[in-house]
Amino acid sequence: MAGGGAGLAKRLGTFLSGLLECGVFCGVIFGWASLVFVLKDLNYFRDLCQPTNTSHNQTSQTGCGEQDEQFSLVFTIGSFMNNFMTFPMGFIFDRFGTATARLIAITLYTGGTLLVAFSTPELAVLLFPAMSMLSVGGILLILTNMQVGNLFGKYRSIIITLYNGAFDSSSATFLIVKVLYGHGLSLKAMFLFMAACSAWHLLRTLFLMPCTRIPYPLPPGYNYGLRCPGHSKSYRTYEEKRRPEVAGPEETPLEGSAPRGGRDPPGVSFRACVCSKLFAWHVAWLSVMQLRHYLFIGTFNPLLNHLARGDRQLVSTYTNAFAFTQLCGVLCAPWNGLILDRHKRGKTPRPEGALGALADLRASVLSLVVTVVQCVLFSICVAVPVLPVQFATFMLQVLSRSFLYGGNAAFLAIAFPPQHFGKLYGLAMALSALVALLQYPCIALVRGPLHGDPFYVNLGLIAVVLVAFVSPVVVARECRRRAKELGAAGTPLAAPPGAETPTEMPH
């Protein structure tokens, strides 16, 4: 592990507290299925239902098409904001640093929990801004936490994927809300408690997070916390003492066509990153699989009602089972990190410079392929209209989703310069959010022409997910191209000891 001014105890405290933060608060919106069960029982949006001969109690338990559509719309908008607003927030994170980004996140999160706490069936419209604020606040919290992996050197990808797995597991927070509601606690009391937990986020911001960003590779004597004016003193000292002819991780040339013996050009621009095939196909990889997951979560409650034929007890049992499987996200995600970091654990030392960057990129190909295979299997199980099969669906969904988001963050950290990570992560999430809006017309298609049967939509989504296989093929071809360039040059780019240079950009 990387050492420095921050001791092991402080770095472990940062890691564990960040894991708790991500695992309880950041991705709560993805536990929407559990919260919908409570909101239906409280008759949110029930005024949209047409009067029928059924009893009041039965209507509140099973809902109606108009009520289900409104709940789906809340989730669609919330999940869209979760991704789309990551782009401007990524700019804020890169430009103003961790402290500013986290203060914005805490404000949004606190506001969202207070809106839910003071909402009523008559003010159900408050759910729209509330879920959006919870989404944006949560994604900004995890964005600031992913840099914690920089404190742990060769375990960097494992920690990034672990945090994303914890993000998935936080969807179980709404399961706890559902269980406690069943034991008599009010929705208002529980969300007021969640609002009070913002004090925890504030304390982490002040004492266990940097003011700006944690650099990678970690310089000697690096420290962070409350008394850190911009860069830490140790970081400035490292920059001042470093030999001018030795390029740091952000100054290393990235263009494959750069002359090896000449003067190094400046680092690659954000625009060059965005215009690369590597980034474009990675966004497609993320978008199609995220659409599949979002559509599953957004239509989960109506799907169970359809398969269980309105049996409330069965719906409750399967909802709990799904929420419990979400807890396993934090256990599933590190396996992706092990795949990404597998080349760093051999007896031979990991190569430095461009060869090391190439080794990292090669390791990502298997991760990308495994993630797509998992999502295809998950999509097949969703399409099977048999209720017991959904247990397998739940397990494959949490495994696929953990690999998807952990792999997305780790790949962007590996394939592109660190100074653009926040912006690229935000842009990738924003573009995938636009694709995720297709879930609403899909829901309308199921409700209308397909008469509530999602079979054909699920079948079509299997074909859409197959498009994601293009991304690992593009990455593999890029690895071969870079290997040929390095072989022709004869000598890899020089890098300071222990440094990982960013990868080259494709033409």
375 exposed, middle or buried (CB, 10 Å; 0-12, 13-18, 19+)?
buried
For 366-392, the pLDDT digits (tens) are 999 999 999 999 999 998 988 999 999
The first and second tokens of residue 498, run together, are 């222990």
More confident residue, 19 or 251: 19
Q: What is the pLDDT of residue 393?
A: 93
CA distance 358 to 174: 42
The one-character DSSP state at 505 is B
Kind plus residue range of the DSSP H or E element containing 439: helix 439-447
The one-character DSSP state at 245 is T
CA distance 53 to 51: 7
CA distance 36 to 193: 19
**Dihedral pair phi/psi, residue 354, rounded to 5°:** -65, -30
Q: What is the pLDDT of residue 216?
A: 73
Q: What is the pLDDT of residue 352?
A: 61
Q: Write the single-letter amino acid at 353.
A: G
Task: Kindly calculate the radius of gyration of the chain based on its CA atoms and give it in whole angstroms.
Answer: 24
CA pseudo-torsion sign 371, 372, 377, 378: positive
Model confidence at 262: pLDDT above 60: no
Residue found by looking up tokens 């402290």 in the block: 99
Specify whether the CB–CB gap between 339 and 360 falls below 8 A.
no
Instruction: Reduce the DSSP state of residue 255 to 3 states and report it.
Output: strand
CA distance 103 to 266: 33
CA distance 74 to 133: 12
The first and second tokens of residue 338, run together, are 């092990």
* Dihedral in degrees, nearest 10, Cα atoms 361, 362, 363, 365: 100
* Count of helices and strands (H, E) across the chain: 23, 0
Q: Write the single-letter amino acid at 493.
A: L
Of the pLDDT bands very low, low, confident and very high (cuts 50, 70, 90), residue 347 is low
Kind plus residue range of the DSSP H or E element containing 20: helix 8-21
What mean pLDDT comes out for the span 423-450? 84
Quick one: which of 503, 496, 500 has its CA closest to 238?
496
Of the pLDDT bands very low, low, confident and very high (cuts 50, 70, 90), residue 230 is very low
Specify whether the CB–CB gap between 37 and 301 falls below 8 A.
yes
Other beta carbons within 10 Å of 383: 18
What mean pLDDT comes out for the span 200-211? 91
CA pseudo-torsion sign 172, 178, 179, 180: positive
For 84-136, the pLDDT digits (tens) are 887 888 788 888 889 999 999 999 999 999 999 999 999 999 999 999 999 99
CA distance 304 to 501: 49
Model confidence at 3: pLDDT above 80: no
Of the pLDDT bands very low, low, confident and very high (cuts 50, 70, 90), residue 8 is confident
Of the pLDDT bands very low, low, confident and very high (cuts 50, 70, 90), residue 227 is low
CA distance 452 to 63: 14
* Least confidently predicted of 27-36, 317-326, 353-362: 353-362
426 exposed, middle or buried (CB, 10 Å; 0-12, 13-18, 19+)?
buried
CA distance 100 to 105: 9
CA distance 245 to 351: 20
CA-to-CA separations, 17 to 90, 148, 186, 237, in angstroms, rounded:
22, 11, 28, 29
Model confidence at 192: pLDDT above 70: yes
More confident residue, 333 or 423: 423
